[in-house]
Structures are given as structure tokens and as C-alpha cells.
Amino acid sequence: MKFDILTLFPEMFDSLKESIIGRAIEKHLIEIDITNIRDFSKDKHKKVDDTPYGGGAGMVIRPDIVYDAYKSVKDEKAKVIYMSPKGKVLDQKKVKELANEEHLIIICGHYEGIDQRVLDEIVDEEISIGDYVLTGGEIPAMVLIDSVSRYVEGVLNKDSIIEESFSNNLLEYPQYTRPEEFRGVRVPEVLLSGHHENIKKWREEQSLNITRKNRPDLLNR
Ligand code: 4G4
């Protein structure tokens, strides 16, 4: 799976070199190519933005510069995604859908966003990671890449994918490891019993309880 990222802040993506995603890159299971939109400025000061027509605060990124950056990575088969607080909110179902794509081109906005004309021309899907505003689309792009990469064959071991939050519309049960007693609190006895049927029942109960408490909306789906 290939991810092309169009951004004004390429260094922000350095953290993807760590941990599981970093390993997936080294193993060539995924490829992440970063394009600096600023490289396509024709201006001697490398300016990429300008004031909004109609007035208002802030700056808007010019459409011609974004279009030239897009042309440099363009591929008819790629799906083009714009990270934006106005997008459809990402969920695990959408993550799985995107994991079936061969090539994603992800555009990160900044300032007041990007001129609408180039978005209308090239973007297939506008996606938000939640109902809050950030200074740029880079962190949302990393959230998308991380969540989608988990579904690429070989990135995770298979069991971790099946038993996780949302896979059955429930949140995950709590996990425990050694020591058996920590600050006077013992690991729930059932987990030490070796009784697999009871363990399964206890975990389902715990899942239901935490979902009722934190995400009752998930129970009516
Ligand atoms: C596009 C338009 C995504 C991108 C405006 C991006 C939150 C999300 C941005 C902006 C983002 C999200 C600067 C408001 C960048 N903020 N929820 N900011 N803004 O996925």
C-alpha cells in the first residue's frame, strides 16, 4: 500500500518512522512518500498562500500550487483524500474500506484551508478525524495512515485485529499482566483460573459494562 502525502510541513511525519509503522515501512509492506507543497511555489519567496477573496481573517493556500504538487504524484487509480474538519468523520468501517485501496494521496491543509476550486477538481473524499479543529491536517493524516496500515497484510499479527474495540460494536475488555498483586490490588481471579469459558464470559461482560458507561451510542447500532 502506498501513501503520498502533500504537506507544507514534511518534518511532522518523522514520527511515522517509529514502532510498528516504521517496521512496516522497512519491510516494504507500506510506502510513505512525502511531497512538500512549497516546492511548487513559483515565487522567489516560496509563498504558497494569499488573502481570502471576500475578506476575513487568515490566509488561503493557492489552488495552482496544490494542483502542481498533485500532478507530481498523480495516478488515475489513486484515491485522493483531503483531511478537513468539514469532512465525514472517520470510523473503523471507513478505515477497513480504505485499506483495500492500492494508493492513497492525502492532502493536508493549513491556515484557513485550500482554495475550493482545486479541491473540487482533485479530491475524492473529505475526511475528518473528529469534531474538533487543529492547526493543520498533518496529525489527521498520520491518524489515517496508522489506522489503515494496521489492516495491511503482515503489519500486525492476525489475532490483534480480530479482538479489538469496535470490531463487534463494543469497546475492549481490560487487560492485566504480572505482577499478580499491584499496590494491594489482585488481578481478577477468573483470569488466573484457566477456565476459558468463564474468562470469555467475564470479558464479554466487561466489554458491555465499559461500552454502556463510555459509549452507550454504540449499543444501538
Ligand atoms: C482544512 C480546512 C482536520 C484543513 C481548514 C484538519 C481538524 C481536522 C484544516 C483547516 C484540521 C479534523 C486550519 C481549520 C486544518 N483540523 N478534525 N485543520 N483548519 O480531522
% pLDDT > 70, the chain: 99
Alpha carbon nearest to ligand 1 atom 15, residue: 136
* 109 Cα to the center of ligand 1, angstroms: 7
Is the N-terminal amide bond of 179 cis, ω within 30° of 0? Answer: yes
Model confidence at 162, in pLDDT bands (50, 70, 90)? low
CATH fit for domain 163-220, picks 3.30.420.10, 1.10.10.10, 1.10.8.60, 1.10.1270.20: 1.10.1270.20
Asked whether the predicted pLDDT for residue 172 surpasses 80, the reply is yes
Asked whether the predicted pLDDT for residue 203 surpasses 70, the reply is yes
Establish whether residue 136 lines the binding site of ligand 1, counting it when its CB lies within 6 angstroms of any ligand atom: yes
Establish whether residue 104 lines the binding site of ligand 1, counting it when its CB lies within 6 angstroms of any ligand atom: no
Asked whether the predicted pLDDT for residue 46 surpasses 60, the reply is yes
As its CATH architecture, domain 2-149 has 3-Layer(aba) Sandwich (3.40)
Please provide the size of the chain in residues. Answer: 221
CA distance 46 to 61: 12
Asked whether the predicted pLDDT for residue 163 surpasses 60, the reply is no
CB 128 within 8 A of CB 86: yes
pLDDT of residue 161: 64
The domain ranges of the chain are: 2-149, 163-220
The pTM score is: 0.96
Average pLDDT value for the chain: 96
Establish whether residue 128 lines the binding site of ligand 1, counting it when its CB lies within 6 angstroms of any ligand atom: yes
DSSP of 29-98: SSEEEEEEGGGG--STT---EEPPTT--SS-EE-HHHHHHHHHTT--TTPEEEEEEEEEEEP-HHHHHHH
pLDDT of residue 160: 75
* CB within 8 Å of 120: residues ≥ 6 apart: none
